[in-house]
Amino acid sequence: MKIQTGIFSLLLLCSSCGVRYTASTDVVKDNFDFASQQLKYAFTEIDSVKSGFTDEQKERHLFAPRNIQPDGSLRLVASRDWCSGFFPGELWYMYEYTKDNYWKQKAEEFTAPVEREKTNAGTHDMGFKVYCSFGNGYRLTGNKEYKEIMLQSAATLITRYKENVGCIRSWDHNRDKWQCPVIIDNMMNLELLYWAFKESGDSIYYNIAVNHARTTMRNHFREDYSSYHVVDYDTITGAVLHKHTHQGYAHESAWSRGQAWGLYGYTMCYRETRLPEFLKQAERIAGFIFSSKTLPEDLIPYWDYNAPQIPDEPRDVSAAAVTACALYELSTYVSDMSMQYKVWADAILENLTKGYRARLRGDRGFLLLHSVGSGNHNSEMDVPIIYADYYFLEALLKKAKLEATGSAVL
C-alpha cells in the first residue's frame, strides 16, 4: 500500500478557527476545548429553533440536530431518524473527556428521548440510535435503566434477522425495487448485538451478528475489496438478486462512507469475536482505501471514490472520521502495519482540524464542515452532518486512549 506524501508539514494553519496549529499542538485537547465552546453554542441554536415550533412540530418531538439545510437553518430530527443518537453520543464523549457533570446532565437530557426507539422494529438502525446514546451512557455511568433499554433494543433488532438470507434486513422502503435489502452500514449495528450477548449470555445475539458479518463479507465486496452499498436478497432462497448503490455515485462505484462503515465494522467484529477472517477483511478494506488513486493527499476522501468530476467533487469528512476511528483500533491488532495505520489516523485528525473545522460560535454549533449524505440524490451535499462530529470526537478519544494505554477500545 502506498504512503501518501506531503501530510506531515511542521506547521499547519487552522484557517477555519483562526489559530496557529503546529505539529506540537495537542490535537485532542485543542479539539475538545473547541467542542466545549461549540456545543454550548449548539444548545442555544437548538433552543432558538424549538422556540419557533408550530404545534405540529412540537407534536413530532424534534430534538436532535442532524444537519444544516440549504437555506442555512438548523435541522432537528425526532428519535425515529437514524441520526438521533449521535448528538447525545457526542455529549457523552464530552463527559468522558472532561469528567464534568455538566456534560453528563446534558447527555442524559438528550439521551432520554431516544428511549421510545427500543421497540421500533421498523428499522435496522438500532445501533446508531441506541448504542451511540444509551450505550455510551451505560458504559460511563453503569445506569441499570440504560442497560434494560439496550437489551430491549437488541431484542427488537434481531426480529429483522432473515434466516434464509443470513442477514438483518436493512430497509422496508422501496419494496418495488428490493425484496430484502442489506446495506454495508448495517455492519455498524452489530456492536449492539455483541454487547447484548456479553450482558445476557444469550448466544442468539452473537450468532446473528457473526452470520450477518460473514454473509456481508461474502456478497458485498468486489475483488479489490471495495464494497457495494446495497445487496438485495431473495427472501425465500437467500440468493443475491441485485448489487446496487443508494447513496453513492453508481452501482459499481465505491461510496466513500460505505468503505468506512466496512472498515470500522470488521475491525469491531474482530474485537468481539477474535475470528481471523474479520481482521483480514478489515485490513483488505484499508488496503483498498489507501491504495485508491483518487484518495486526496490530505486523506479526506471525495464522497465517492469514483465520482465523475474529481477533483471538483465534494469531500466527505464523515467518511474520514469513521476511517480514523477504525484505524486506531486496527493498529492494535496487527504488527506489520500497526505504525502505518496510526500514522494515517493521526494525519486524518490533524487535517480535519486544520482544514475542515467549523467556525467557532458559527455553523449552527457543528464541529466539522463538508460532509455528504447522499450524493446520488443531491441530498445533504457539502454540509455539516452530525455523525461526522460524533466519530470525530470518538477518534480523538481513541487516539488519547491508545497513546496512554495501548488500547483504542473505549
Nearest of 396, 390, 393 to residue 82 by alpha carbon:
390
Catalytic residue among 81, 185, 232, 346: 185
Catalytic residue among 125, 232, 304, 363: 125
Q: Judge contact between 368 and 241, C-beta under 8 A.
A: no
- Strands 64-68, 19-22: pairing kind: unpaired
Q: SS3 of 97, please?
A: helix
382 is annotated as an active-site residue: no
* Axis crossing angle, helix 338-355 with helix 317-330, rounded to the nearest 10: 150
Q: Which residue has the cell 425526532?
A: 78
Q: SS3 of 11, please?
A: strand
C-alpha grid cell, residue 168:
438483518
- Exposure pattern of 235-272 as b/e (b: 16+ CB <10 Å)? eeeeebeebbbbbbbeeebbbbbbbbbbbbbbbbbbbb
**φ and ψ of 161, to 5 deg:** -75, 130
> Residue 167 and residue 181: Cα distance in Å, rounded?
9
224 is annotated as an active-site residue: no
Beta strands in 85-220 (DSSP E): 161-162, 167-168, 180-183
Amino acid, single-letter form, for residue 330: L
> Residue 327 and residue 339: Cα distance in Å, rounded?
10
**φ and ψ of 41, to 5 deg:** -65, -35
Nearest of 399, 384, 377 to residue 86 by alpha carbon:
384
C-alpha grid cell, residue 6:
506531503
Catalytic residues: 125, 185
